[in-house]
Structure 1
């Protein structure tokens, strides 16, 4: 979560470990989605996106402001 001027932004990252099929864009507000390998990311990245990626993999060579990360795990089913 951060603030840019009068706008408070909340960015939530989700790590998907199992899926089937081909990823598809379902959100109309976004112009288009692009999929990149984590070792070939385009630059510059949206800062909250870079922060989420480095919370997942601290070894990624991405320059961004420090972030706070709150891990969450779903309860066992």
Structure 2
């Protein structure tokens, strides 16, 4: 590999101009079939989740980390099923949201980031509150298309079959 004539990094190691954001949204489902949603101070309801760290962190590891950081709930990355990629564009930036699913028998989430989230609630998927945070709505629509969730247009790519939603 040869160095760039301008003295910059070689082409294969030079980062591209930023044009995308990579995050993960986690559908956490309990033994009663309810899902965990947080009420953001901005008024929307959202899934736990956040950005995938640029540290060679896998999407499943990011999902487990974000879940722990935001709710205090601990799951192993091996217990996370990444089931889809959702892509839309916001303000000229490609937003890639990875959709993940975790199933727990029972759990008591804590508000660990009170500057962001007011409360966490277990909610039946058929009784989703409004308004939903757009990436969360997009992920939930891929997870349960039968719910006819309104959301901004997005492309999605199934990665794995999400385990059957509990009744």
Computing the radius of gyration from Cα coordinates, the structure with the larger value is 2
Q: Which moved more, 1:34-43 or 1:8-17?
A: 8-17
How big is the shift at 1:70?
3.2
Match of 1:52 in 2: 139
Unpaired runs of at least 5, structure 1: none
How big is the shift at 1:56?
0.9
What's the secondary structure of 1:49's corresponding residue? helix
Q: Which moved more, 1:51-60 or 1:33-42?
A: 33-42
CA RMSD of aligned residues (A): 2.7
2: distance between equivalents of 1:29 and 1:69? 33
CA offset digits 1:27-58 (Å, max 9, x no partner): 46623343222111122322221110111111
TM-score, L = length of structure 2: 0.35
1: distance between equivalents of 2:120 and 2:93? 26
2:129 is the counterpart of 1:42: yes
TM-score, L = length of structure 1: 0.63
Unpaired runs of at least 5, structure 2: 1-86, 162-167
2: distance between equivalents of 1:40 and 1:27? 25
The structure with the largest strand share of the pair is: 2
